[in-house]
Amino acid sequence: MKRFLLWDYPRAVWQYDLMVGLILAFIFLTPREFFRDQPRAYNITMLPPVAGASVYWMEPELLAGVPETDRAQKASDLVRGRFGRSQALLRLEPIFDEEKEIKGFLAYTRP
């Protein structure tokens, strides 16, 4: 057992291969729920206020698939859910890169 715990086997012996096989089996066969691994949540980040309005950066994936007419309401709901504040959305600005793809949104709110 001591040799097993201290990994004292030379390479290319069956004990070493068994250890590597057990480690690989653990890595690939253990379900994600065992580690409570969750998908990465997309962020809403609070930026410094501008002219008395709170500003939030929103990842584009948060509003992907939302019709343009419903984006403002969805953005307001996301800010309220993330920060627990009931704020009126003043405007929602999409931020574009050089290829005219949306890189994110700036949401301006006021209490």
- Predicted local confidence at residue 41, as pLDDT: 60
Q: Render pLDDT for 33-68 as a digit per residue (tens, 0 to 9).
A: 787 766 666 688 889 988 888 899 999 888 888 888
Q: Render pLDDT for 66-106 as a digit per residue (tens, 0 to 9).
A: 888 898 899 888 888 887 777 888 999 999 999 989 899 99
* CA–CA dist 86, 14 (Å, integer): 64
38's tokens: 């969750």
* CA–CA dist 19, 73 (Å, integer): 55
One-letter amino acid at 85 equals R
Neighbours of 40 (CB within 10 A): 6
Q: Domains of the chain: which residue ranges?
A: 2-35, 44-110
* Residues β-bridged to residue 54: 109
* CA–CA dist 52, 11 (Å, integer): 66
